[in-house]
């Protein structure tokens, strides 16, 4: 069975924090040898659609490396937003 790494989204992830969050998580991804990455979203309290953009960019980077990604701890509002935008199926639940 392939090893799994876990990354965590911050408590606040809006457009203002998206760039820094993506840089931090991207750096963590670069150091992960694991084939599967779970991004934990449970800490998110303040967010906007930029949170989905960050998740989709992380997914794109991982797919380029032949890795898989899933999301755990979906806040209900974020899950609803992903469904509304038609991207929920691209971000499977862990």
Residue-by-residue DSSP string for 30-90:
HT---SEEEEE-TT--EE-THHHHHHHHHHHHHHHTT-EEEEES--HHHHHHHHHTT-GGG
For residue 48, the model assigns a pLDDT of 97
All structural domains of the chain: 4-90 (3.30.750.24)
Mean pLDDT of the chain: 94
In this prediction the pTM is: 0.93
For residue 51, the model assigns a pLDDT of 98
For residue 59, pLDDT beyond 60: yes
For residue 2, the model assigns a pLDDT of 61
């Amino acid at each position: 069975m392939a090893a799994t790494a876990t990354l965590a989204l911050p408590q606040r992830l809006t457009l203002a924090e998206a760039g820094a969050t993506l840089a931090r998580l991207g750096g963590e991804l670069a150091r992960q040898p694991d084939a599967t990455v779970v991004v934990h979203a449970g800490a998110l309290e303040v967010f906007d659609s930029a949170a989905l953009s960050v998740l989709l960019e992380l997914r794109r980077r991982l797919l380029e490396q032949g890795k898989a990604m899933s999301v755990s701890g979906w806040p209900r509002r974020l899950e609803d937003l992903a469904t509304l935008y038609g991207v929920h199926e691209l971000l499977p639940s862990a």
